[in-house]
Amino acid sequence: MDNTIRIGCWIPESKKKKIKYDRFVELCRQSGACIVELDLSKPLADQGPFDVILHKISDDVLMRAEYCNDLEARDQVLNFKNYVANHPQMPVLDDLSKINRLKNRTTMFHILQEYQNKLQNPSVFVPSFTEITSPQDGDSFKRIRDAGVTFPCVCKPSSAHNAAVAHNMSLVFNESGLKDVSYPCVAQSFVNHNGVLFKVFVVGSKTFIARRPSIKNQTTCDQSTIHFRTQDVSKPHSRNYLNADLAEAGDHPEPDASLMHEVGQAMRSALGINIMGVDVIMEINTGRYGLIDVNAFPGFQDIPNIQEVLRDYVMELAYSYRNKNNAPVIS
């Protein structure tokens, strides 16, 4: 019997390009593992068994099932969920039910806030936020004030997984600017951070920090609402009129690596998600760290050896699974 490690994978093409998936596959092959590309339209039981599953179905299949009323996609999600439920000991990166907790930004921010409260570290905070459900919501101004949300604020779509709208943000400078925002959304205080964003990437017990461009410092004014997409502002080499100039960003200190590792690993524990990215900003004047976003299985464009890191972690889980089940492994 062939006891080669079998890794089930379902990753959309866009994500494969970002992580250089072909290199990951080759590294797994060199380590004695076989990559099985999952066909979600067919029974997974016929394609297994698997020692571990690596997936990003939330980027494509789950989105089509939930936002496009795609019946085929719904069947594929059910197929995946049923297989995982029937193999509860098999490692899955990551648990779909836990990833789903991040698809609504209000829920996500409440999780971040709960984590901050447990951490009890005054150096870490979640900028004030509240959800606004509709432009006709007469209590929206009161809700913003009661939640401690200040202007300028960033209004983010409540849905973090609907690719058509999730990255469309609005920078709002005053109460009158709220009329130009798409709803439902989460309004969050904008924290001046010298136009520098830190991505804290987590892969199992390992944490990596990458520096990204971000929105330059802002003040409350009569400025009209500015609409933007995050890809235009905070990707590795973004150049946008909203970005800080190089002189302003260049003076920004580097983050406390030990604290960022603690934040990443604590978020991993709190969320039960092992492959993720946490967006962190450093507040000017105070130096406090603001947690402003979390996403599962990010692009990792900033991590040059991400293929090796993923290979090592996936193989670690696969070997652990084999050992627990007393199955021999051919390496």
Task: Calculate the alpha carbon distances from 311 to 6, 41, 54, 147, 306 in Å.
Answer: 12, 26, 11, 43, 8
Query: Which pLDDT does position 68 carry in this prediction?
Result: 78
Query: Which pLDDT does position 78 carry in this prediction?
Result: 95
**What does the alpha-carbon distance between residue 64 and residue 162 come to, in Å, rounded to a whole number?**
9
Amino acid at 149: V
Q: What is the count of structural domains for the chain? A: 2
Query: Which pLDDT does position 329 carry in this prediction?
Result: 43
**What does the alpha-carbon distance between residue 316 and residue 324 come to, in Å, rounded to a whole number?**
12
Say whether both 197 and 216 belong to one domain.
yes
Task: Calculate the alpha carbon distances from 303 to 85, 92, 206, 207, 326 in Å.
Answer: 33, 22, 12, 11, 35
Say whether both 64 and 108 belong to one domain.
no
Q: Is residue 244 part of a domain?
A: yes
Q: Minimal CA–CA distance to 24: which of 7, 47, 48, 39?
A: 7
User: Residue 162: how many CB atoms within 10 A of its CB?
Assistant: 16
Q: Look up the pTM and report it.
A: 0.92
Q: Which domain holds residue 258?
A: 101-296
23: Cβ–Cβ under 8 A, 6 or more apart, which residues? 307
Q: Is residue 160 part of a domain?
A: yes
Report angle CA 188, 194, 195 to the nearest 5 degrees.
70
Which residue, chain included where needed, has tokens 């090796």?
Answer: 308
Query: Which pLDDT does position 331 carry in this prediction?
Result: 33
Q: pLDDT in tens for each of the 331 residues of the chain? A: 468 999 999 999 989 999 999 999 999 999 999 999 999 999 999 999 999 999 999 878 887 887 778 899 999 999 999 999 999 999 999 999 999 999 899 999 999 998 888 888 899 999 999 999 876 656 777 889 899 999 999 999 998 877 778 889 999 999 889 889 988 999 999 999 999 999 999 999 999 999 999 999 999 889 999 999 998 998 888 888 898 765 555 677 899 999 999 999 999 998 999 999 999 999 999 999 999 999 999 999 899 999 999 999 999 999 999 988 755 443 3
Say whether both 153 and 108 belong to one domain.
yes
